[in-house]
Amino acid sequence: MITVLCILIGLLFAGATYCLLQRSLMRVLIGILMLGHGVNLLLLASSEPLSRQVAILNEDGVPRDVGSADPLPQALILTAIVIGFGLSVFTLALARSCFVKSGDDDVRQLGEEDIP
């Protein structure tokens, strides 16, 4: 299971890198979305289910052996998904406004300056 997950993460990162290096703004955005998904899966994979005692304490403050996966990475992923979703929507809106203003989705025009 973990091997499949790792291959998937690798593929997502490779695809994201390829897309980020493109000139089309839309592909750069797709690259960012893929990168976000790759990172979320990496968080999940790095948590290695059942590998450690979880942060659920007994009354005496000792971690309880409940035989479940560590819930913390899942909380982290959930947070990352929510933040990533908000930022993606904002970025898409920004990219659309840029495209409407300039009529071109080539990223090379983004850095052009009027004054040297």
Partner 1 sequence: MNDFLIIGPILIPLITLIVCLALEMWGKKASTASFIGVVATLAVATMLVTRVNSGGTLTMEMGGWQPPYGIVIVADLLAALMVWISAFVVLVVLVYGINGKMPGKGGGHVHVLVQGLLLGVCGSFLTGDLFNLYVWFEVMLISSFVLMARDKGRKQLEGGLVYVILNLVASAMFLCGAGLLYGELGTLNFADMAVKMQALDDPTFVNTTGSLLFVAFAAKAGLFPFYFWLPASYHRAGPAVSALFAGLLTKVGVYALLRTFTLVFTDANGFSSNIILYISMFTMVFGVLGAVAQYHVRRLLAFHIISQIGYMVAGLAIGTPLALAAVIFYTLHHIAVKTCLFLVGGVLEMRTGTPDIRKHGGFYQSNPLLAVLFLIPALSLGGIPPLSGFWAKLNLVEAGIAREEWLFIFVALAVGILTLFSMVKIWNESFWKSPPADAEVNLPLWPGKPTTAMVMLCVLTLVFSFSGKFVFDLSEKAAAALHDPSMYIEAVLGGGSE
CB atoms within 10 A of CB 115: 3
* Pick 4 or 82: Cβ nearer partner 1: 82
Is residue 111 within the footprint of partner 1 (CB under 8 A)?
A: yes
72 lies in the site for partner 1, by CB under 8 A: yes
Residue 7 to residue 4: CA distance in whole angstroms: 5
In the beta sheet, which residues pair with residue 32?
none
- Which of 22, 24, 68, 109 binds partner 1 (CB under 8 A)? It is 109
* Contacts by residues 48-53 (CB-CB < 8 Å, ≥ 24 positions apart): 48/2
Q: Which residues contact 55 (CB under 8 A, 6 or more apart)?
A: 63, 70, 71, 72
Structure tokens at 103: 């009529």
7/72 with CB nearer partner 1: 72
Of the candidates 5, 10, 24, 46, which one interacts with partner 1 according to CB under 8 A? 46
CA distance 4 to 18: 21
Shortest separation between residue 37's beta carbon and partner 1, angstroms: 10
Judged by the rule CB under 8 A, the positions of this chain that interact with partner 1 are 20, 25, 28-29, 32, 35-36, 38-39, 42-43, 45-48, 52, 55, 57, 61, 70, 72-73, 76, 79-80, 83, 86-87, 90-91, 94-95, 97-98, 101-102, 109-111, 113-116
